[in-house]
Amino acid sequence: MRCPFCGSEDTQVKDSRPAEDFTSIRRRRICPDCGGRFTTFERVQLRELMVLKKTGRKAPFDRNKLVRSFQIALRKRPVDADRIERAVSGIVRRLESSGEAEISSEQIGLQVLEALKSLDDVAFVRYASVYRDFSHAEDFEKVIEEINAKIARDPGLEPGGQS
């Protein structure tokens, strides 16, 4: 691992342990050349995934884009970072174990919608408004009616997706 401070290619691992979500390894490293200390995370990657865009273009799957989608939808919402990380890791795991090397952006979007529906209703509506290309107030009303129907079926749910 290259040192981010001096660029040396010879860094040493001082400590390794599972990360909080148990889907990655957290490593503390030190550079013997400059003395810089830094942390790296190591994840299992089952296969190289390609995302098939609506335009037909292909792009490598980027986990960070998935994380950013969740962060944008959940901005200023009371959802723990651990729950977000578990949702992202679950989606990545399902995509990698699907057996497909190419996944459509639509499939990924549907999985994000499903995850957000269980995390937070407001974030779900935010993401759905972009993903489903809402253009009228009626589009929002339909989604809100879906959420209200879900709450009516399970009165233990609080508005906001938290139970």
User: Is it the case that residue 31 has pLDDT exceeding 90?
Assistant: yes
Q: What are phi and psi of 37, to 5 degrees?
A: -115, 140
User: Is it the case that residue 158 has pLDDT exceeding 60?
Assistant: no
So where are the chain's domains?
A: 12-43, 50-153
Query: Token pair of 77, please?
Result: 């919402």
Distance CA(158)–CA(127), nearest Å, equals: 20
Q: What is the mean pLDDT of residues 99-121?
A: 87
Q: What is the mean pLDDT of residues 4-13?
A: 92
> For residues 39, 45, 50 and 51, what is the CA-based torsion angle, rounded to 10 degrees?
-70
> What pLDDT digit, counting tens, does each position of 137-152 carry?
777 777 777 766 765 6
Specify the pTM: 0.61
Q: What pLDDT is stored for residue 159 in this prediction?
A: 47
Distance CA(108)–CA(105), nearest Å, equals: 5
How far apart are the two ends of the chain, measured CA to CA in Å? 43
Q: What is the mean pLDDT of residues 83-109?
A: 87
Distance CA(26)–CA(126), nearest Å, equals: 33
CA distances from 140 to 24, 35, 77, 116, 122 (A): 38, 55, 19, 16, 11
In a 13 Å sphere around the CA of 21, the CA atoms on its Cβ side amount to 17
Greater model confidence, 129 or 163: 129
Sheet holding 12-18, edge to edge: 12-18, 24-30, 37-43
Name 6's Cβ contacts closer than 8 Å, sequence gap at least 6: 31, 33, 34, 36
Q: Which amino acid would we find at residue 150?
A: K
